[in-house]
């Protein structure tokens, strides 16, 4: 019986994707692990692997088709002896799969749940034979790729008492669209501007995700804001000295590199603030995983620098440059932009003096960084000109109270105003 290959969920936020390119054609034989398509998600273009072996019977979705919903059949896979017009087996909806750095496991193969939440991978033919013989798949060891149960495994197994049907893994409910109550309807807006020339720009997956997530964040996360001015003169002088020494190695540190390091150390100095909201509990972390917003065409990424407190400034600089470049090329894997407990959004390079950033759940805080500008400051009773950077810490009050947030921001300020101490 033919098997439907379904549009996979290649990231936790993916609801639909674009089938960018087929790498196989009808009649091609495919093996488990073979890359068969390239799929554009809301964040990146990912490779899609086959799980089952067989022959491509029919491509159901054409190249370049956008808006293909997750779990929509995109192709038919024929097993040995199947005719080209064979009817598909009942579609099995698998749990969303998180993409690996290079290749992504497809969700075409049916998946059963083991006790304790683990999953059992089995080919459709093996599953049918097991059902006929009354076999419990969770008790069978698979000999196929990655431990997948294949026909030979179930044919040689002894029949057992019939097992209850395993419920399909629950499908993550589609992300709620931006609430209609948050503004006038599409029809109302179109009527309002009917007599004015305009161009309609369709929302891509990334823009839809940003709109939905940030609307949800602003409406459901109790934000409060803390602001400080940070004097940068000592940092600028220290940075100049370091860059002069590092020039021979081709290393040039940016102010943003110091900010990342300062925040990572501050999360260690105020460990109670190194946490995220987890619905009915708070998760507090031992390491400082800091996300940094990177603007790209049509949206943004927040790649995460893990264990940032333990890395040198030059290592952070090199890693950030690599992540930013691959973010703009949309080559980041999901594990590189998911996670972290704290984020940085720096608009200083665009000349913005100060702003308030929206928290990206489940993070508990985000630091909005403005430009360093010359301002009059008072030192030892005299007014002098210094370079001052304004920052705003947006905080989730469910995780971090006012006093704790103030301690965190003070630690960030102290680290930046005493940069030599960050190397101790």
The pLDDT tens digits of the residues spanning 228-256 come to 999 999 999 999 999 999 999 999 999 99
Strand partners, 300: 295
Do the strands 45-49 and 103-104 form a parallel or antiparallel pair, or are they unpaired?
parallel
pLDDT, position 294: 94
**Residue closest to 263 by CA, chosen among 424, 410, 398:** 410
Q: What is the mean pLDDT of residues 129-148?
A: 73
Read off φ and ψ for residue 272, nearest 5 degrees: -65, -20
Give me the percent of the chain exceeding a pLDDT of 70: 80
Inter-axis angle of helices 313-328 and 255-269, nearest 10: 110
- Residue 121's pLDDT band (cuts 50, 70, 90): low
The single-letter DSSP state of residue 195 is: T
User: Does residue 416 surpass a pLDDT of 50?
Assistant: yes
Strand partners, 230: 389
Neighbours of 281 (CB within 10 A): 9
Q: What is the mean pLDDT of residues 69-89?
A: 73
Spell out the alpha helix ranges (H) of 48-123.
none
pLDDT, position 263: 97
**Structure confidence by residue, pLDDT tens digits, 346-399:** 999 999 999 999 999 999 999 999 999 999 998 888 999 999 999 999 999 999
Task: Locate 417 and state its tokens.
Answer: 């105003």
Residues 6+ apart with CB under 8 A from 315: none
- Kindly tell me the sign of the dihedral angle through the C-alpha atoms of 5, 335, 43, 40: negative
> What average pLDDT is seen over the chain?
82
- Domains of the chain (ranges; CATH) run 3-155 (2.40.50.100), 222-423 (3.30.559.10)
* Inter-residue contact 144 to 150 (CB < 8 Å): yes
pTM: 0.65
* Inter-residue contact 140 to 153 (CB < 8 Å): yes
* Inter-residue contact 344 to 259 (CB < 8 Å): yes
pLDDT, position 124: 58
335 is catalytic: no
Catalytic residue among 223, 335, 363, 397: 397
The single-letter DSSP state of residue 122 is: B
User: Does residue 160 surpass a pLDDT of 60?
Assistant: no
Q: What is the mean pLDDT of residues 247-270?
A: 96
- The rounded distance, in Å, linking the Cα atoms of 344 and 326 is 18
**Structure confidence by residue, pLDDT tens digits, 293-347:** 999 888 888 999 999 999 999 999 999 999 999 999 888 888 899 899 999 999 9
Give me the percent of the chain exceeding a pLDDT of 90: 46
pLDDT, position 176: 42
- Residue 115's pLDDT band (cuts 50, 70, 90): very low
């Amino acid at each position: 019986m033919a098997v439907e290959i379904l549009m996979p969920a290649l990231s936790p936020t993916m609801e639909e994707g674009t089938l960018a390119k087929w790498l196989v054609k009808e009649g091609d034989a495919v093996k488990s692990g073979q890359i068969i398509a390239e799929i554009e998600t809301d964040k990146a273009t990912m490779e899609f692997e086959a799980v089952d072996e067989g022959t491509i019977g029919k491509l159901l979705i054409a190249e370049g088709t956008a808006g293909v919903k997750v779990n929509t059949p995109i192709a038919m896979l024929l097993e040995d002896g199947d005719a080209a017009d064979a009817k598909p087996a009942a579609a099995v909806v698998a749990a969303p799969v998180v993409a690996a750095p290079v290749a992504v496991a497809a969700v075409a193969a049916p998946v059963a749940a083991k006790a304790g939440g683990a999953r059992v991978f089995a080919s459709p033919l093996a599953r049918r034979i097991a059902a006929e013989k009354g076999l419990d798949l969770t008790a069978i060891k698979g000999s196929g790729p990655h431990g997948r149960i294949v026909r030979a495994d179930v044919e040689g197994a002894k029949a057992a008492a019939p097992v209850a049907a395993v419920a399909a893994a629950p499908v993550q409910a589609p992300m709620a669209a931006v609430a209609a109550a948050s503004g006038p309807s599409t029809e109302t807006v179109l009527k309002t501007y009917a007599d004015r020339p305009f161009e309609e720009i369709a929302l891509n997956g990334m823009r839809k995700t940003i709109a939905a997530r940030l609307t949800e964040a602003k409406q459901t996360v109790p934000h409060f804001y803390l602001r400080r001015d940070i004097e940068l003169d000592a940092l600028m002088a220290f940075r100049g000295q370091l860059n002069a020494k590092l020039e021979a190695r081709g290393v040039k540190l940016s102010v943003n590199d110091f900010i990342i390091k300062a925040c990572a150390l501050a999360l260690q100095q105020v460990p109670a603030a190194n946490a995220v909201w987890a619905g009915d509990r708070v998760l507090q972390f031992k390491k400082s995983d800091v996300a940094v917003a990177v603007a790209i065409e049509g949206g943004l990424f927040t790649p995460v620098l893990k264990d940032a407190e333990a890395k040198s400034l030059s290592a952070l600089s090199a890693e950030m440059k690599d992540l930013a470049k691959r973010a703009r090329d949309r080559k980041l894997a999901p594990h590189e932009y998911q996670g972290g407990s704290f984020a940085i959004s720096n608009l200083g390079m665009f000349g913005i003096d100060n702003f308030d950033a929206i928290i990206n759940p489940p993070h508990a805080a985000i630091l909005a960084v403005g430009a360093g500008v010359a301002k009059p400051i008072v030192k030892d009773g005299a007014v002098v000109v210094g370079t001052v950077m304004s920052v705003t810490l947006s905080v989730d009050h469910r995780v971090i109270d006012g006093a704790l947030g103030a301690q965190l921001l003070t630690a960030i300020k102290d680290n930046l105003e005493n940069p030599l101490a960050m190397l101790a």
